[in-house]
Amino acid sequence: MAVSVASATPALGRFACESPGPALVYLAEDGLPQVRARIEALCKERGADIRSLDLSVITAPILRLDLASDQERLARTVEATRPRMLLLDPLVRLHRLDENSAAEISGLLGYIRDLQRRFDLAVVLVHHASKKQRSQPGQALRGSSDLHAIGDSNAYLARDGEHIVLTIEHRAALIEGGEAACLRVLSPVPQGDRPDLQELLLDRLAPGGEPLSRAALRAALRVNNQRLGEALERLEHSGRIQRTPQGWRRR
Domains of the chain: 2-170 (3.40.50.300), 195-250 (1.10.10.10)
Say whether the peptide bond before residue 90 is cis (omega within 30 degrees of 0): yes
Instruction: State how far the Cα of 206 lies from the Cα of 248, in Å rounded to an integer.
Output: 11
First to last CA, the chain: 45
How far apart are alpha carbons 146 and 102 in whole angstroms?
7
DSSP letter, residue 234 = H
Question: How, if at all, do strands 23-27 and 85-89 pair?
Answer: parallel
Angle at alpha carbon of residue 77, lines to 95 and 115, rounded to 5°: 60
Report the C-alpha gap between 157 and 1 in whole angstroms.
14
| The pLDDT of residue 135 | 64
Report d(CA 228, CA 224) in Å as an integer: 6
CA distance 221 to 244: 20
- What is the reported pLDDT for 139? 77
Beta bridge pairs of residue 43: none
The alpha helices in the chain, defined as continuous H runs, are: 2-7, 32-46, 68-81, 102-119, 146-149, 197-204, 214-221, 225-237
Residue at 57: amino acid letter: V
Report strand pairing: 122-125 vs 23-27.
Answer: unpaired
- pLDDT per residue, tens digit, the chain (251 aa), is 999 999 999 998 888 999 999 999 999 999 999 999 999 999 999 899 999 999 999 999 999 999 999 999 999 999 999 999 999 999 999 999 999 998 899 999 999 999 999 999 999 999 998 877 666 777 788 888 888 888 999 999 888 888 888 888 887 765 555 555 555 655 554 544 446 788 888 888 877 788 899 888 988 888 878 888 888 988 888 888 988 888 999 88
Which of 231, 222, 229 minimizes the C-alpha distance to 197? 231
For 126, phi then psi, to 5°, come to: -90, 130
Distances, alpha carbon 161 to alpha carbons 129, 135, 139, 145, 157, in Å: 18, 18, 21, 28, 13
Q: What is the DSSP letter of 202?
A: H
pLDDT at 193: 47
Residue 147: CB atoms within 10 Å: 21
- From the CB of residue 118, how many other CB atoms can be counted at a distance below 10 Å? 11
For residue 181, what pLDDT is reported? 55
Residues 90, 126: Cα–Cα separation, whole Å? 5
